[in-house]
Structure 1
Amino acid sequence: MNKFRMSFLVILSAVFIFGGCSSWNRTQKGAAVGTAAGGTAGAVIGRASGNTALGAIIGAAAGGATGAVIGRQMDKQAEEIAKTVPDAKVERVGEGIVVEFSSNILFGFDESNLSNDAKRNLDNLVVILNNYPDTDIEVQGHTDSSGSESYNQTLSEQRARTVSSYLSGKGIAYSRLNIKGFGELAPKYENESAAGRTQNRRVEFLITANEKMKAEAEKQASN
């Protein structure tokens, strides 16, 4: 019954969101994109706030004592990433990690080819990701609001795909990787200023526990 009620809430939320989206602004439409992609009530809450990283991590959470074990492992991994990849913004969120790169670190303006500095940063990140093989990695591409929505959507997808391909080429198992492009629809910063637009042009890595890690964490929590 609880599962049924949760599914009903998700579906009902989506109906209301898409039923009224024609008059919404870009930020509200971004929330709708996140909500549609979510698979649990937690994901609905996170994504409806406009924070796609929060939504995805909440949706993947194990919770309880198991989640506490996972959280401690993520604390350690986040510390290592912060030390090894100083150009990235590293944030612990719930049971996961968000690693944010401003796109000007990874790409030239309006481009989807990785720069040499980008490859150096990603190589450093790969070292840590390989040390923690029992995690899943979602690569999200985002843009600012300059240009058309369709162009920005395509650019965000291309950038996410480029980064994901580079990671897999460096030994990250393809099964661990998932890519999503949100275009301009999920801004974290103000698009009204040049500084905010620069920050919105970003690629985010969402690191969460895979099923193996969750199972092992559950065993530890029960001992």
Structure 2
Amino acid sequence: MNTSKSLLSVLMAFVLLFSSCATSQQASTTQPDLSTNNGTGARKTGMSKTTKGGLLGAGGGAVLGGVVGGLLGGGKGTAIGAIVGAAAGGTTGAIIGRKMDKAAAELQNDMKGARVERVGEGIKITFDSGILFDTNSATLRPASEADISKMAAVLQKYPDTNVLIEGHTDNSGTDAINQPLSERRAQSVANSTIAKGVSSSRITTQGYGSTQPVGDNTTVEGKQANRRVEVAIYANEKMKKAAEDGRL
């Protein structure tokens, strides 16, 4: 674990270095043909984190962001990896960071049932699945809709951001149960967010089953921590260009 943390620190440094040295004329990245879910238009991908990191961002920072997610093991850290992978770095990144500071402050003020964290040039939101869903269910509890409504309202105020929604489970049961459950839960949050006015073109969903624990699965507390939905919010290319041009 210490080795993984050390590697993460080194790669984060490289992300900042490469992003800062990159010119504003970055090579364009062609997005893959991603399938839509349940008619909502939200994109779902089963790509590895290394591939996804390269696709979510642009240039060296994006590639290294994917590597970060992979090195953390079993896809662990992919929400943060997506944010790191999309980093612009340098002055542009600092401008984006200030914009994200404002968005995060609004989310923290409004969302009482979720943990909101500023990470790099983006925002990570963690929902406890026990708050969102009943056991073995992917149907959102009515009470959970309030926080999703607040998240959607802030996302509409910051339209030039992309949103990655990830579902995670503990290791109870089998992969045959946990994997599709995590996918359906991520999609349920996406569907609710879209229904509340956020464009489906901004949203990508991914389920990881029990492969990315953040807690000890041998304890009740650890299992609870592992049952979660994570949301990564990061700048899209339009916001990056506006920041580069001094229009943000």
Q: TM-score, normalised by structure 2?
A: 0.74
Gaps of 5+ in 1: 1-5, 7-31
Q: 1:91 aligns with which of 117, 122, 142?
A: 117
1:59 aligns with 2:82: no
- Given residue 44 of structure 1, which amino acid in structure 2 is its aligned partner? V
The secondary structure found in structure 2 opposite 1:61 is coil
Give, in whole Å, the separation in 1 of the partners of 2:176 and 2:86: 29
Which of the two has greater helix per residue?
1
Q: Which residue of 2 aligns with 1:206?
A: 232
Return closer, same or farther for 1:97/1:69 CA change in 2, 3 Å cut-off. same
Give, in whole Å, the separation in 2 of the partners of 1:137 and 1:187: 21
Q: Which residue of 2 aligns with 1:15?
A: none
The secondary structure found in structure 1 opposite 2:148 is helix
Gaps of 5+ in 2: 1-17, 19-46, 55-62
Sequence identity percentage:
44
Give, in whole Å, the separation in 2 of the partners of 1:185 and 1:211: 30
Give, in whole Å, the separation in 2 of the partners of 1:126 and 1:45: 28
Q: Which residue of 1 aligns with 2:143?
A: 117
Alpha-carbon distance, 1:189 to partner: 1.6
Give, in whole Å, the separation in 2 of the partners of 1:84 and 1:154: 30
Give, in whole Å, the separation in 2 of the partners of 1:52 and 1:196: 19
Alpha-carbon distance, 1:150 to partner: 2.3
Q: TM-score, normalised by structure 1?
A: 0.82
- In the alignment, is the contact (CA less than 8 A) between 1:38 and 1:47 conserved in 2? no
Return closer, same or farther for 1:144/1:85 CA change in 2, 3 Å cut-off. same
Give, in whole Å, the separation in 2 of the partners of 1:138 and 1:53: 7
Provide Cα deviations, 1:135-193, integer angstroms capped at 9, x if missing partner. 11111000111111121110000001111111111110010110001111111122121
1:195 aligns with 2:224: no
Q: How many residues align?
A: 192
Give, in whole Å, the separation in 2 of the partners of 1:33 and 1:122: 27
- In the alignment, is the contact (CA less than 8 A) between 1:107 and 1:114 conserved in 2? yes
Q: 1:168 aligns with which of 191, 194, 217?
A: 194
